[in-house]
Amino acid sequence: MSAQLINDVKAIFVDTFKTEPILIFSPGRINIIGEHTDYNDGFVFPAAVDKGIAAAIQKSDNNTSTAYALDMDSKIEFDLDKLKPSKEGSWENYVFGVVAEIQNRNKEVGNFNIVFKGDIPGGAGMSSSAALENSVVFGLNELFNLGLSKHEMILISQKAEHNYVGVNCGIMDQYASMFGIENHALLLDCRTVESKPYKIDFKDHQLMLINTNVKHSLSDSAYNDRRSACESISELLGIKALRDATVADLETVKDQVTPANYQKALYVIEENERAVKASKAMEADDLETLGALIFASHNGLSNQYKVSCDELDFLVDQAKANNHVLGARMMGGGFGGCTINLVSKDQAEAFGKSASEAYLKTFNKACSVYFIKLSEGTHIVK
């Protein structure tokens, strides 16, 4: 967590509202494996990171509430009794959505002011949205003694995303951001919403992200379309979610679904199996197998689930061609954002450099390399 970020939101808050705020840090996340499995009730393997959203929040003593997004230098006053979604793509939907979902649970929120700022680049696929939602719900829970559990808070954040932002996301991002543990990744069962922590120590290897710095449009609608496709195949199979299906089950409805949707469902079933196998490989310290599963995950995301893009595929190909990278894949919803790489420690920088040079040459734009620390979830900063 960046101390500078916390100092910035605090200073602006005090300057603007003349009172001391509560300070909250809410992290973004990575995901080792298990992509697009969360809304299929499956397994994911995320971890909270040291980048995220810092928020300063306090009760307001007048009749309005204010939210101030420092990154965008954008401030908005609003009335808690008249909340409705703003235009698509507006940052305030994350704040309004959380407040509205708390109200829907018959909990009373009073007027408040919030200033926030983040260090996750937009579109990186590291869940700045979940970090923001969690910071708001966590702050309001604290300020107004709402008595919400962490599990309730993440469901509120998720609903805000569904109903105000318009993305029918699963629970991975909000969970990882809220429940993250320092130096650990969490094998999360998205059906029970319970996780098993795994200490991450890859010895002479480490995780490294490379951000394509692109976010292709239509990613939200493509996301929702894929979720609907998975749900309609589950319905056809008479099961609650694809988590309950085997490849053999899927074969029984093959002629009732389009070839494209068949491939998508197949991807989900296989990816779910890969996430479980990855946890076993980690327990056995078998990094070669873990890396192979990560490469296979990308292959499925790109060719079956069709959520990759040229820039992501290019970076994964760079990793495949490098003997020091055991595995690489796109991470998050897709259509841009980061690749996650399992790379040997002493060659990580060199790989980052060579991949960046090749990327620049090919796409005429820069990518960014991030070394991240696995960190604690949403918390108050004293």
Pattern of binders to ligand GAF over 5-34, x per CB under 6 A? ------------------------------
68 phi, psi to nearest 5 deg: -130, 115
Q: What b/e string do you get for 34-60 counting C-beta neighbours within 10 Å, with b at 16 or more?
A: bbbbbbbbbbbbbbbbbbbbbbbbbbb
| Residue 339: both structure tokens together | 């690749």
Give the nearest distance from C-beta 275 to ligand GAF in angstroms.
Answer: 10
How far lies 148's CA from each of 56, 120, 142, 197, 296, in Å? 19, 27, 9, 23, 39
Give the nearest distance from C-beta 172 to ligand GAF in angstroms.
Answer: 5
- Tell me which of 9, 23, 35, 94 binds ligand GAF, using CB under 6 A: 35
How far lies 240's CA from each of 166, 169, 170, 172, in Å? 23, 17, 15, 18
Torsion over CA: 169, 173, 178, 181 (sign): positive
Give the nearest distance from C-beta 175 to ligand GAF in angstroms.
Answer: 9
**Cβ distance to ligand GAF smaller for residue 102 or 172:** 172
- Identify which range of 105-113, 166-174, 340-348, 363-371 contacts ligand GAF by CB under 6 A: 166-174
- Identify which range of 83-91, 140-148, 165-173, 194-202 contacts ligand GAF by CB under 6 A: 165-173
Residues 329-348 that bind ligand GAF (CB under 6 A): 332-333
* 39 is a site residue for ligand GAF (CB under 6 A): yes
Which residues are part of the catalytic machinery?
173
Give the nearest distance from C-beta 362 to ligand GAF in angstroms.
Answer: 26
* 172 is a site residue for ligand GAF (CB under 6 A): yes
**Cβ distance to ligand GAF smaller for residue 139 or 300:** 300
The region that residue 195 occupies, defined by phi over 0 for left and psi between -120 and 50 for alpha, beta otherwise, is beta
Q: Which helix (H) or strand (E) holds 270?
A: helix 259-283
Q: Give the interface with ligand GAF as residue ranges (CB under 6 A).
A: 35-36, 38-39, 127, 169-170, 172-173, 332-333
